[in-house]
Amino acid sequence: MIRKLTNTYKQSFSGLSRETWVLSTVLLINRSSSMAVPFMSLYMTQYLNRPPSDAGLIISLFGVGSIAGAAAGGKLTDVIGFRSVQVISSIVGGIFFILFSTITDFHSLCIFTLLISFFSEAFKPANFIAIGTYAAPGTETRSYSLNRLAGNLGFAVGSSVGGIVASFSYPMLFIIDGSVSVVAGILILYFLPATKIIVKTVTEKIKETGALKPWQDKLFVRFILLNILLNTCFFLMFRLVPLFYKEVWHINELWIGLILGLNGLIIALFEMVMISKIENRRSLFHYIIWGILLLAVGYILLLMPWIGTVVAALISIIIFTAGEMFALPFINSFVMSRSNDTHRGLYAASYTLSWSVAQVIGPSAGFYLAERYGYNWLWIILVLLLLWCAAGFRFLGRIVE
């Protein structure tokens, strides 16, 4: 049994290019610096003593900056190359994160939040395109899965370490976060070969072939709208739920970090193997729909702390993670299936933008509803939205079939 399991893991990770491993390693380091964002709401309310509505505004501004960063990152990748975009965004974004720890004025915090999120999000479309460029033939899906695995493992490490750091110093969160981001940019500069000529060739192909742009692809536009709805619900688990754990269930920062970190750890251990076993057995939308339904169950459990708050939180994040493992990898696969080498950057930027828009809508609406009507009503609304989202993907799947 152990030998069979070991062979399964080896097969899942074999055949990937050196550059894919470099990109994934750098992403792991980059996402390990994401320890501050899950604790942003706690930083605003517990450390700076701002009302929850201010915390919601800060997180929404993070989404506004992300929208601009995603659009600029996709465009700049075509102009200066994905290597340069990743290096600049990591280093500059890291410096702004360090400076963020020294600021207490609310208006200045809003400005720095926009700058940080702009550079953080500009990294993503460039990284997405780099993975597709360097992936060995026939390994594209696994290359993206490895990249996602690295990101989630980094998030697990960052959240866990973030909980420990936040328990004694919130400003230190941003200093460590920014420092690690700078290191990630330097590593890309030294270990990832420049491929500007490849990017230029792809850009020329777009002009020559007149490839269909994402906003001209009606099916893809419907998919993006559903993805915005899904991500609006998804983000609140990592933006607002930590505050719920603290204020309502009275879980301390250390446990909150460990609970959130469990999400990335489970994905790192099981997602690649799971995908290798179920991929191509059913349609992409079959797994996406089941994943969304599991996300809904994760929120339902927040209504029922019937076995102790820490245990209920652990079960909820496990179910939520299972839903994420089913839904998100196959959503990535759909994006890849709708694009090709001539316009993958545009589709990557559009997909990243859907996450950014959700970052604007979700936190501000979530914090408003929680403050006005209470958390229980918020969880009920999220469950209903996820059920609606599942129905929408089912309809979309029928069109595709």
pTM as predicted: 0.71
- How confident is the model over 161-195, as pLDDT tens digits? 777 887 778 888 888 888 988 988 888 888 876 65
- Segment 128-140 shows an average pLDDT of 73
CB 110 within 8 A of CB 181: no
Report if residue 1 sits inside a domain. no
Average pLDDT over residues 229-236: 90
Statement: residue 58 has pLDDT above 70: yes
CA–CA separation, 66 and 71 (whole Å): 8
pLDDT band at 344 (very low <50, low <70, confident <90, very high): low
**Where do we find the tokens 């915090």?**
109
Give start and end residues of each alpha helix (H) in 135-252: 140-166, 170-191, 196-209, 218-239, 241-247
Helix 344-373 to helix 218-239 angle, to the nearest 10 degrees? 40
Handedness of CA 79, 83, 85, 87 (dihedral sign): negative
The per-residue pLDDT for 217 is: 81
pLDDT at 95 over 90: yes
pLDDT band at 205 (very low <50, low <70, confident <90, very high): very low
Share of the chain above pLDDT 90, in %: 18
pLDDT attached to residue 141: 63
CA–CA distance, 175 with 162 (Å, rounded to integer): 11
In a domain, 376, yes or no: yes
**pLDDT, position 305:** 67
Does 210 score more than 60 pLDDT? no
Q: The domain that contains 384 carries what CATH number?
A: 1.20.1250.20
| Residue 3 resides in a domain | no
Higher pLDDT, 166 or 370: 370
Query: What per-residue confidence (pLDDT) applies to 209?
Result: 41
- The letter for the amino acid at 396 is L
pLDDT score, position 342: 61
pLDDT of residue 195: 58
User: Which two structure tokens, joined as six digits, stand for 327?
Assistant: 């839904």
- Per-residue pLDDT, 52: 76
46 vs 139 pLDDT, higher one? 46
- Structural domain containing residue 200: 10-400
Inside any domain, residue 76: yes
4 within domain boundaries: no
pLDDT in tens, 14-57: 777 788 888 888 878 777 766 677 677 778 888 888 887 787 78
Q: Provide the 3-class DSSP secondary structure of residue 126.
A: helix
Higher pLDDT, 74 or 249: 249
Please report whether residue 5 resides in a domain. Answer: no
Please give the Cα distance from 62 to 113 (Å, whole number): 6
Mean pLDDT of the chain, nearest integer: 80
Label residue 293 by pLDDT band (50, 70, 90): very high
Name which residue leads in pLDDT, 308 or 258. Answer: 258
CB 295 within 8 A of CB 320: yes
Cα 193 to chain centroid, rounded: 25
Taking the C-alpha atoms of residue 185 and residue 206, their distance in angstroms, rounded to an integer, is 29
CB 324 within 8 A of CB 288: no
Asked whether residue 71 is domain-assigned, the answer is yes
Quick check: is 2 in a domain?
A: no
Question: pLDDT at residue 143 above 50?
Answer: yes
Which of 294, 243, 238 is CA-nearest to residue 261?
A: 238
Q: How many domains is the chain partitioned into structurally? A: 1
For residue 105, how far is the Cα from the chain centroid? 28
